[in-house]
């Protein structure tokens, strides 16, 4: 059994929820972050096995909010040994279909949450980890590699998150802190299940030779591994979890 303090951002549903559950089953204490899903977050904390879990709330795009929620997690857990940067947003902003102001607002918001927010939280958590070590796992996307024409900010933010994580792996390794990344494809969340009902649903399934999309628990298992002591030498790695739906050299 483990007994670490784990902060999972964007943990009220989907990958974040499955990840919080996976760490709690190991005996870890989990800080469940949400932005505006207090009821879902509270229910998750109630459902988690073990004790010592808590919720933290806030918009990660605001650096002062990020600072405060990390402080709350550290106080509530005693310390943060593992950070999972899972919070993110995906906003349609097709350059060919929108006026500039609307497009810019969607682009800026996507970068602010997916990249800047993860960077702010990582800064405050990493400073606390120095001296004792820790694990940071970022949740990226295959969209960082294959492109997202209708959501260019999403692809750009995830590509930036990949590079940011690798930079931190080099900067923090000497402090005993590992930084690694998972890059999922389609995952069975509420939103993706709705997409599968649309006309292109079959084409989405056909992207993988398994003719399905990932379950959140499969992504969570990869995150738990990357946060484990056995994965120390994967620091700096980007692990694809997309069922061979997109292969990169």
Side-chain half-sphere exposure of 140, counting CA atoms within 13 A: 31
Mean pLDDT to the nearest integer, 5-27: 98
pLDDT tens digits along 63-80: 999 999 999 999 999 999
- Residue 92 DSSP label: -
Half-sphere exposure of 218 (CA within 13 A, CB side): 16
Q: Using CB atoms within 10 A of its CB, is residue 242 exposed (0-12), middle (13-18) or buried (19+)?
A: buried
**pLDDT tens per residue, range 136-156:** 999 999 999 999 999 999 999
Which pLDDT does position 2 carry in this prediction? 82
For 219-241, what is the mean pLDDT? 98
What integer is the mean pLDDT of 219-243?
98
The better pLDDT of the pair 204, 1 is held by 204
Single out the residue of 179, 66, 82, 165 nearest to residue 120, CA to CA: 66
pLDDT of residue 191: 73
Residue 85 burial (C-beta neighbours within 10 Å; 0-12, 13-18, 19+): buried
Contact 184, 15 (CB under 8 A): yes
Q: Kindly list the structural domains of the chain, giving each domain's residue range(s) and its CATH number in brackets, ordered by start.
A: 5-239 (3.40.50.720)
pLDDT value for 177: 98
**pLDDT of 97 higher than 80:** yes
**224 half-sphere exposure, CB direction, 13 A CA radius:** 22
130: its two tokens: 């120095």
Cα separation, 121 vs 58, in Å, equals 11
Q: What is the pLDDT of residue 133?
A: 98
- Answer whether 61's CB lies under 8 Å from 109's CB: yes
Average pLDDT, the chain: 96
Active-site residues, by number, are: 141, 154, 158
Crossing angle between the packed helical segments 152-172 and 118-129, to the nearest 10 degrees = 10
Q: How far apart are CA 147 and CA 94, in angstroms?
A: 13
pLDDT band at 82 (very low <50, low <70, confident <90, very high): very high
Contacts (Cβ under 8 Å, ≥6 apart) of 168: 122, 126, 136, 177, 179
Q: What is the dihedral of CA 16, 19, 21, 22, to 10 degrees?
A: 180
Report the percentage of the chain scoring pLDDT > 90: 94
pTM of this structure: 0.96
For 169-221, what is each residue's pLDDT tens digit? 999 999 999 999 999 999 998 778 888 888 889 999 999 999 999 999 999 99
Percentage with pLDDT > 70 across the chain: 100
Beta-strand (E) ranges in the chain?
A: 5-8, 29-34, 54-57, 82-85, 134-139, 177-184, 238-241
Which is it for strands 177-184 and 29-34: parallel, antiparallel or unpaired? unpaired
């Amino acid at each position: 059994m483990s007994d670490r303090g784990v902060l999972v951002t964007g943990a009220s549903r989907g990958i974040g929820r499955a990840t919080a559950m996976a760490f709690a089953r190991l005996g870890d204490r989990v800080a469940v972050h949400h932005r505006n899903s207090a009821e879902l977050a509270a229910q998750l904390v109630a459902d988690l096995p073990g004790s010592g879990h808590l919720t933290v709330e806030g918009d990660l795009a605001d650096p002062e909010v990020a600072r405060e929620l990390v402080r709350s997690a550290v106080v509530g857990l005693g310390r943060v040994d593992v950070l999972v940067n899972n919070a993110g947003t995906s906003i349609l902003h097709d350059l060919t279909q929108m006026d500039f102001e609307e497009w810019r607002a969607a682009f800026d918001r996507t970068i602010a949450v997916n990249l800047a927010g993860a960077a702010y939280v990582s800064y405050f958590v990493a400073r606390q980890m120095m001296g004792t070590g820790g694990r940071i796992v970022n949740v990226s996307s295959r969209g960082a590699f294959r492109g997202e024409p209708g959501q260019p900010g999403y692809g750009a933010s995830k590509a930036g998150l990949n590079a940011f994580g690798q930079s931190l792996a080099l900067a923090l390794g000497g402090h005993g802190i590992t930084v690694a990344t998972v890059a999922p494809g389609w995952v069975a969340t509420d939103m993706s299940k709705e997409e599968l009902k649309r006309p292109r649903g079959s084409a989405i399934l056909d992207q993988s030779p398994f003719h399905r999309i990932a379950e959140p628990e499969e992504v969570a298992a990869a995150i738990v591994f990357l946060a484990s002591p056995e994965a120390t030498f994967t620091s700096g790695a980007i692990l694809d979890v997309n069922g061979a739906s997109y292969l990169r050299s």
